[in-house]
Amino acid sequence: MIIINSFYPQQFEHPQLGPIIGRKRNEHVVQFRIIPYGHVAARFRHATLVSELPPKQRTFTEHGHACPQNEQCMEPFGGPIPGNEKREYDEFFSLDLTIITPGSALKFGNTHKVPVMVYVHGGGFTVGAQYGGPNGPRRRSGKPQRLAFQCVQKFISGFGGDINRITALGESAPSSSLAFHLSYNVPLFDRAILQSGTASAVSPKPLANKDEEYQALLKFCGISVDDPQRLEKLIAVPTDKIVEAATSINKAAFSPLADKSFFPIIPNYLNHAKIISDCSWIAAIVTGDVVFEGCLFAHSIVDVRPEVFYQHVENALGVENANRVLEVYEISRNMNENLFWARLCTLCGDAMFSGKTMSLSAHQFQRG
């Protein structure tokens, strides 16, 4: 048997997809990389579900393209994973799955189906790739994610998976995405593990907000909002310029649109827990929390000073309520700035993630 880059090529006959080649790292595990699940015909078009593999694409042993994005600084995390230092980007060919399965599940005649775990990787809706980064792959949220789950439902049985035992797992942004999917009236998975992210963490925004973001994008790209050819010109803008706009425009452009076709009931802070509890097609939900996810805000608050923040909270909540909140986090006006930033990160994390997760957990517990 030929060994390539420390793995054995493993050929397998999928009952629907036909002959494919994956990576056999040992006697027990086979990995298939870049299995496409969606096709993007053009920029800004909705992706469509892949029904068959491209005729010439039969080898799935290497990583594919990542969605275009700004390069992440990897030094604080010890650098990129060895062998994954360089990424290739493509906005049309980045909708794919990595499928890891027991080798025994691929044996001819095997009838024992194994449970399926679909891990939706993090990255704050904006960064990451299917390889080489601490934030994991960047999966476009919303409808393309639904295509991924539909692809799993359609093809995972051929890889030895049990289509009636699919668990979805997400942490942070992907947890919010899974919570969004739970408001949908079509089953996508059977169980969910939501870690540190709810549907109210990044609530869907009305069309008026999205129109403001669209106009800001046009302006950034040098296109007049009154130009009758504005959409055609935006489609022709180089990919790098669109990526630059995503981080330069001071808008929460990664938040979803409050689209009734996607959200029968628009989730918000007051109703998100009830929406999930009322989901009729989910069998079980596990909720969890990341201890210090507020560190994500560190770069945004580095210039905030304790006395200024304290005064701002007093103005917003009143003196009595401000004192109650800030005492819990041991924040004072004249404290050490390094301690202040750490505690402010904790407060931000609780407000954005932990508090909402606890609210969801409490509601689930009360509902039994």
Helix (H, G, I), strand (E, B) or coil at 194: strand
Answer yes or no: is pLDDT of 292 > 80. no
Least confident stretch, 92-101, 114-123, 247-256? 247-256
Per-residue confidence at 1, pLDDT binned at 50, 70, 90?
very low
Quick check: 131 pLDDT over 70? no
Per-residue pLDDT band at 289 (split at 50, 70, 90): confident
% of the chain surpassing 90 pLDDT: 45
Distance of CA 266 to the CA centre of its chain: 19
Closest CA to 121 of 184, 70, 197, 46: 197
- The rounded Cα 129 to chain-centroid distance in angstroms is 11
pLDDT at residue 257 tops 90: no
pLDDT digits (tens, 9 = 90+) for 13-58: 999 999 999 999 888 899 999 899 999 999 988 899 999 998 888 9
Kindly report the average pLDDT of the chain as a whole number: 85
Q: What is the pLDDT of residues 185-203, one digit of tens each?
A: 889 999 999 998 888 888 8
CA max distance for the chain = 74
Q: Sorting pLDDT into bands at 50, 70 and 90, what band is 82?
A: low
Q: What are phi and psi of 330, to 5 degrees?
A: 55, 45
pLDDT exceeds 60 at position 85: no
- Chain CA centroid to CA 164, Å: 23
Give the residue, 127 or 120, on which the prediction is more confident: 120
pTM to 2 decimals? Answer: 0.85
Confidence label for 127 from pLDDT (cuts 50, 70 and 90): low
- Are 65 and 89 in contact by the 8 Å Cβ rule? The answer is yes
263-282 per-position pLDDT tens digit: 888 998 889 889 998 899 99
The band of 59, judged by pLDDT with boundaries at 50, 70 and 90, is very high
**pLDDT of residue 100 exceeding 70:** yes
In contact, 121 and 130? CB cutoff 8 Å: yes
Whether 363 has a pLDDT exceeding 80, the answer reads yes
Residue 86 confidence (pLDDT) above 80: no
352 burial (CB, 10 Å; 0-12 / 13-18 / 19+) is buried
Higher pLDDT, residue 305 or 301? 305
Average pLDDT over residues 225-244: 93
**77 pLDDT tier (thresholds 50, 70, 90):** low
Say whether pLDDT at 164 is over 90: yes
pLDDT at 78: 58
Share of the chain above pLDDT 70, in %: 87
Higher pLDDT, 87 or 96: 96
Q: How many CA atoms are closer than 13 Å to the CA of 14, on its beta-carbon side?
A: 25
Cα 330 from Cα 332, distance rounded (Å): 6
Confidence of residue 135 (pLDDT cuts 50, 70, 90): very low
What is the C-alpha separation between 187 and 282, in angstroms, rounded?
7
SS3 39: strand
pLDDT greater than 50 at residue 87: yes
Provide CB contacts within 8 A for 214, sequence distance 6+. Answer: none
Nearest to 25 by CA among 13, 9, 12, 14: 9
Query: What single string gives the DSSP state of each residue in 229-273?
Result: THHHHHHTS-HHHHHHHHHHS-S-TTSPB--TTT-SS---TTTHH
pLDDT at 284: 93
Whole-angstrom CA distances from 271 to 167, 177, 205 are 24, 16, 15
Question: What pLDDT score does 306 carry?
Answer: 94
In 3D space, the residue among 163, 176, 223 whose CA is nearest the CA of residue 202 turns out to be: 176
Query: What contacts 12, CB < 8 A, 6 or more positions away?
Result: 19, 20, 21, 22, 30, 106
Contact 272, 356 (CB under 8 A): yes
Comparing 100-104, 109-113, 305-309, which segment has the lowest mean pLDDT? 109-113
Q: Answer whether residue 74 shows pLDDT above 60.
A: no
Q: Do the beta carbons of residue 137 and residue 131 sit within 8 Å? A: yes
Contact, 23 vs 9, CB < 8 A? yes
What pLDDT was estimated at residue 290? 78
Residue position matching structure tokens 């595990």: 29
Residue 91's beta-bridge partner residues?
none
